[in-house]
Amino acid sequence: MDLSRRTLLTGTAVAAAGPALARDDAPPAVLVSTWDFGAPANAAGHAVRLAGGSALDMVEAGARVAEADETNASVGLGGFPDREGHVTLDAVIMNGRGDMGAVCALEDIVHAVSVARRVMEATPHVILVGEGARAFALEQGFDTTPLLTPESEAAWRRWLETSNYAPRANSENTDWPGGASDHDTIGILGIDAQGRMAGACTTSGMAFKMRGRVGDSPIPGAGLSVDDEVGAATGTGVGEDILRVSGAHAVVEAMRAGLDPGAACRRVIERLARLRGDKIADHQVALLALDRQGRAGGFALRPGFTYAVTDAAGQTRLVRAESLFS
Ligand code: ASP
């Protein structure tokens, strides 16, 4: 994506001060999402908002944009497969009142986020996995689609040549850290015209992961947390790290304790760094939050994390988050 076509807040990129923390002069956000591909996702969510859709409708619509984009190798169609060559999708969606649904290791269905929403609305459960999730999706009328594109298959075959079949954190980030392809999962958070909040997170997970591996993204409290009383948070990066600190939940609780979104994300990243030390020496983890007042903020372990913020007028700005390490 050509970042120059949108407003890019480059506080840290062009100056020392941090753009990742909420800016008092910024108009309240109604949608935020991870990475540069969050901008078109936010645009879809914003259109739903204008049409009177709920926060759930907004974030689902946004997440579906990334899922349908086959050039995005970390979400939905065209996602990188596991190490055995199967594309398996993880997704969660929730509102700010405890309604939630998720799917893990879903195969052959592009819109995992919409299956997750059906889990939320049409079952007594929160999470369905694997074959059961797929069978449920088919019962609900979802179509099957081969998710492995020629491009993703070629990348997997190249990886097989040198990988010794071992999954590696950030292996999808060919020019990590901070490069154009240094992005993964989409997490999207929204506030509708009634002030209700919702979030969604959808991914094909860590590239070339072990078969059956599930990261943080579909796990409530890890990849996503939403509370109408406080705000919402999501994460991207090495899911194992985010799981270890209940990342999104920890951010929401830090906001409940009074921190603004950027500071809350920073606190949890700092906690992760203290907890894991050298074990996360080459990992990227990023957290993104939106509070109920519409203040947005994010923070990352390492440089390269960008997020998209859209206000009620539909203006989107891309923000480069500050990071703990340079
Ligand atoms: N957090 C996702 C996972 O671990 C992937 C990512 O965002 O890099 O599955």
Report whether 31 contacts 58 (CB < 8 A): yes
Confidence check: pLDDT of 176 > 60: no
3-state SS, residue 94: strand
Would 22 be classed as within a structural domain?
yes
The two beta strands, 127-129 and 186-191, are unpaired
Structure-model confidence comparison of residues 191 and 17, the more confident one: 191
Q: Is the CB of 232 under 6 A from ligand 1?
A: no
Q: Which of 12, 88, 149, 185 is catalytic?
A: 185
52 C-alpha to center of ligand 1: Å?
Answer: 31
Distance CA 242, CA 216 (A): 6
Would 127 be classed as within a structural domain?
yes
Would 82 be classed as within a structural domain?
yes
Would 111 be classed as within a structural domain?
yes
Structure-model confidence comparison of residues 182 and 304, the more confident one: 304
Residue with tokens 């020392």, as numbered in its chain: 16
Distance CA 204, CA 51 (A): 30
Residue 51 burial (CB count, 10 A): 10
| Continuous H helices in the chain | 11-14, 38-50, 55-68, 112-122, 130-139, 150-163, 239-244, 247-256, 261-276
The torsion angle over the Cα atoms of residues 256, 41, 76 and 138, rounded to 10 degrees, is: 90
Report whether 21 contacts 255 (CB < 8 A): no
Percentage of the chain modeled with pLDDT above 70:
87
pLDDT tens figures, 194-245: 999 999 999 999 888 899 999 999 999 999 999 999 999 999 999 999 999 9
Domain that holds residue 65: 3-320
Structure-model confidence comparison of residues 205 and 182, the more confident one: 205
Question: Nearest C-alpha to atom 8 of ligand 1 is from which residue?
Answer: 237
Residue 161: what are its φ and ψ, rounded to 5°? -65, -30
CATH number of the domain encompassing residue 286: 3.60.20.30
Residue 168 burial (CB count, 10 A): 14
Would 266 be classed as within a structural domain?
yes
Query: Is 185 noted as a catalytic residue in this protein?
Result: yes
Would 325 be classed as within a structural domain?
no
Q: Is the CB of 291 under 6 A from ligand 1?
A: no
User: 229 burial class (0-12, 13-18, 19+ CB within 10 angstroms)?
Assistant: exposed
Would 25 be classed as within a structural domain?
yes
- Residues near 97 by Cβ (< 8 Å), separated by ≥ 6? 196, 228
Split into its structural domains, the chain has a count of 1
pLDDT tens figures, 241-270: 999 999 999 999 999 999 999 999 999 999
Q: Is the CB of 304 under 6 A from ligand 1?
A: no
What integer best gives the mean pLDDT of the chain? Answer: 88
Distance CA 127, CA 102 (A): 5
The tokens of 291 are what?
Answer: 């509070």
Would 326 be classed as within a structural domain?
no
Q: What pLDDT does residue 24 have?
A: 56
The torsion angle over the Cα atoms of residues 243, 200, 126 and 149, rounded to 10 degrees, is: -90
